Amino acid sequence: MNDLLAPIASYYTDKLRQFGDEPRGVDWNGPEGQAHRFAQLCQLLTPDSPFSIIDVGCGYGALLDFLEDRFKERMSACEYLGLDISDAMLEAAARRHANRPYARFVHGTQAPTRADFVVASGIFNVRLTSTDEAWRTYIRDTLATMDVSSTKGFAFNCLTSYSDRDRMRPDLYYADPCELFDFCKRTFSRNVALLHDYGLYEFTILVRK
């Protein structure tokens, strides 16, 4: 793990120890907002047929819970791979989903295999003391990896630079949605959607191949 991400792994490990495997344990306010952002990311998926998906920064596996609730019996024909940089998160995810033969959890930021879809929720928010330049490079490098790892598309979310200035925190990164939309459109695909209308101080980008 590089020097940029090591403090992030410790940050989330501490959150999990403090709150357990619930939304606050991955630094979200509550289950409603978490489910709402998952719904945006999952607009990328093809729900009428089985799919494979890689969840970058999977935490304790909350997205898998959401997928199972939304697609129910169809999930047994799908493949889910969760990646995380926190060993404690992976252990919690493995315990929580021990009876899911279609799910596995791996340490790291890059999947050992490709999948139909790759998604990332919240991994670009907490930057702690990293500079804007370093964090922007990390985001672009991660998106390039997500692109290589996906065959049908990828999706991610970020806190928005349109947030209220008096509520912005220096340890969080607020991305420019127009800049990232342009980057994805010019770099990865002609089919890019920017979702910025769902009531949270963030946005979601869907890249379809």
Give per-10-residue mean pLDDT for the chain (209 aa): 88 93 87 92 89 96 94 86 96 94 94 95 96 97 98 98 93 98 98 96 97
Given this model, what pLDDT does residue 140 score? Answer: 98
Q: Is residue 1 part of a domain?
A: no
> Helical H runs in the chain?
6-19, 31-41, 62-71, 87-96, 132-149, 177-187
Q: Is residue 92 part of a domain?
A: yes
Structural domain of 95: 6-208
Give SS3 for 113: coil
Q: How many domains does the chain have?
A: 1
Q: Is residue 143 part of a domain?
A: yes
Q: Is residue 176 part of a domain?
A: yes
Taking alpha carbons only, the member of 83, 75, 120, 65 closest to residue 101 is: 75
Given this model, what pLDDT does residue 96 score? Answer: 95
User: Alpha carbon 38 to chain centroid distance?
Assistant: 9
Given this model, what pLDDT does residue 63 score? Answer: 97
Q: Is residue 15 part of a domain?
A: yes
Given this model, what pLDDT does residue 49 score? Answer: 86
Neighbours of 66 (CB within 10 A): 19
Given this model, what pLDDT does residue 46 score? Answer: 83
CATH number at residue 107: 3.40.50.150
Q: Is residue 74 part of a domain?
A: yes
What's the whole-model pTM score?
A: 0.95
Please say whether the beta carbons of 88 and 60 come within 8 A: no
Given this model, what pLDDT does residue 176 score? Answer: 98
**Placement of tokens 């930021």 in the chain:** 109
